[in-house]
């Protein structure tokens, strides 16, 4: 399983800042020590699945999306039926996209995250409307 500890930590930190949450607020919400989270963000430690589960929701990630970014899961490709129903080629943030986004200034990240959130909401609405 290939993974880049530093990239995951950078993505987690940038997502936390974009929300915005302090490290202490995330630690309190997730029930994980702020010193441990800081080491994860700096790439000094790699989070366990247990830690990823605890921080996923406060950071606005689906668990499977965060597990994919961490390299625990392979990126899922939706079925052709799902693509035609939602018009969305992927339900999850591609690790490559996340990596590239992590290299952009925080203002660009916030804008892209906002756009992706709106698109996800629109896709969900289209799915519900066709049921």
Residue 65: its pLDDT value, please?
84
Q: How many domains does the chain have?
A: 1
Residue 62 domain boundaries: 5-129
Burial bucket for residue 88 (CB in 10 Å: 0-12, 13-18, 19+): middle
Q: How far is CA 105 from CA 6, 57, 59, in A?
A: 17, 24, 18
pLDDT band with cut points at 50, 70 and 90 for residue 115 = confident
- Which tokens sit at 5? 């500890």
- Of 90, 73, 93, 88, the residue nearest 11 (C-alpha): 93
Report the CATH number that the domain containing residue 41 is assigned in CATH: 1.10.260.40
Within 10 A of 5 (CB to CB), how many other CB atoms are there? 16
* pTM for the predicted model, two decimal places: 0.56
At residue 83, does pLDDT exceed 70? no
pLDDT tens-digit map of 25-72: 999 999 999 999 999 999 999 998 889 999 999 999 988 888 888 877
């Amino acid at each position: 399983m290939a993974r880049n500890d530093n990239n995951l930590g950078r993505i987690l930190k940038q997502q936390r800042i974009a929300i915005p949450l302090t490290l202490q607020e995330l630690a309190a919400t997730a029930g994980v020590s702020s010193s441990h989270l800081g080491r994860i963000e700096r790439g000094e430690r790699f989070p366990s699945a247990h830690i990823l589960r605890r921080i996923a929701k406060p950071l606005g990630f689906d668990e499977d999306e965060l597990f994919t970014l961490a390299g625990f899961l392979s990126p899922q490709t939706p079925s052709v039926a799902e693509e035609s129903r939602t018009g969305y080629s992927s339900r999850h943030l591609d690790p490559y996209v996340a990596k590239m986004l992590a290299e952009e200034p925080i203002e660009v990240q916030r804008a892209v995250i906002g756009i992706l959130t709106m698109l996800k909401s629109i896709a969900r609405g289209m799915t519900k409307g066709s049921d």
